Amino acid sequence: MLKEKALEKIDELLTEMPPFIRDFVETKTADEYSPNTILEYLKNYHQFFSWLIVSKSIPEKSIVEISAESLDALQMRIATQYKAYLLSRKKQNSKQINKDGSPKESTATLSKVTIQRNITALKVLFKYLSESHNNVIGKPYLSHNIMQEISNVTERQTLQARADLLEDKLFLGNETEEYLNYINDVYPSTLSPQAMKYYKRDRERDLAINALMLGSGLRLSEVVNLNVDDISFEQNRVSVVRKGDKKDSVRIASFAMEYLANYLTIRDSRYHPDKYETAFFVSISKGIAKRITGSAIEKMVEKYSSGFKVRVTPHKLRHTLATRLYKQSGGDLILTAQQLGHSSTLTTNLYVHVENNTTTDALNSL
């Protein structure tokens, strides 16, 4: 999400939040937390506060009225109960509806990753409220921290098991080239005349987006936030802002550069953005060229990939680049981590287990 958009949503959410949350946001902003991180925290806090009200764990009837005193009165078991609630909560499936038009309830529970993000966010908040003097009252809001003893949620799955599930949803070997050729040559044969009109308008852009993700491993948000001046065609590099607002210069595979150049030649003539629109990738919204959204890219990737092989996400295209790069570099984990913008190679270890035939070869030679 764009920084400006995230800041707008933060301001909107703060109008529904207790005053001490504004102190928290000011402190974390000064600590250089990214707006997107703060926004996700606020969403988690809004959910937690709503649960406190519904479960009658506090006397207040609305979130904005919640006092620090009410939070300070909470016992440790409340944190345990909320964790149990998250572990049993069903996903909200807005894409499927019942016959009466109501959202169909999902049978799947929240992922362990989602639950852990909630818990981490609450630990950050309660640590601040119970330790920091940097607020309007000049002393900690809370006398104790009910979140400090809550254990983290871990995925009970080995890296190899995760890699096995992931491998079938990657474009490995020659499939990257075949996928791009499918978008350009095969997909249009499946379209109606009306759909063909939009396909022809967006073909170069869609190919460029897919090629960029497959040739650089950029995150979806990084692709969305690209500006025209961020790409260097002389150096095959792109300037991005990574997580934590860290600036980075990322290399792009040479095969992707042609697709990017083709798109750039038609960007102005086909989309007609005004001179103030800096976004590299744009789409038409109500007749106006605007920065493309992450949701639009997700739908576009789903559309093309479903017909080619298996429905994938932009993040799976990032996984594809990581896996292919790790293999082509001879297993250079540091190089792969740097390309992906990982601060630690621990996050990158997953790709060691994808297409790793060393163990199989060793067993077969016994």
Spot the catalytic one: 267, 318, 324, 353: 318
Catalytic: 201?
A: no
Per DSSP bridges, beta strands 288-291 and 231-232 are unpaired
Spot the catalytic one: 117, 123, 251, 315: 315
3-state secondary structure the chain: CCHHHHHHHHHHHHCCCCHHHHHHHHHHHHCCCCHHHHHHHHHHHHHHHHHHHHCCCCCCCCHHHCCHHHHHCCCHHHHHHHHHHHHHCECCCCCCECCCCCECCCCCECCHHHHHHHHHHHHHHHHHHHHCCCCCCCCCCCCCCCCCCCCCCCCCCCHHHHHHHHHCCCCCCCHHHHHHHHHHHHHHHHCCHHHHHHHHHHHHHHHHHHHHHHHHCCCHHHHHCCEHHHEECCCCEEEEEEHHHEEEEEECCHHHHHHHHHHHHHHHHHHCCCCCCCECCEEEECCEEEECCHHHHHHHHHHHHHHHCCCCCHHHHHHHHHHHHHHHCCCCHHHHHHHHCCCCCCHHHHHHCCCCCHHHHHHHCC
Catalytic: 179?
A: no
Spot the catalytic one: 127, 243, 251, 303: 243
Catalytic: 342?
A: yes
Spot the catalytic one: 83, 242, 327, 342: 342
Spot the catalytic one: 45, 82, 263, 351: 351
Catalytic: 133?
A: no
Spot the catalytic one: 83, 203, 205, 219: 219
Catalytic: 318?
A: yes
Q: Which residues are catalytic?
A: 219, 243, 315, 318, 342, 351
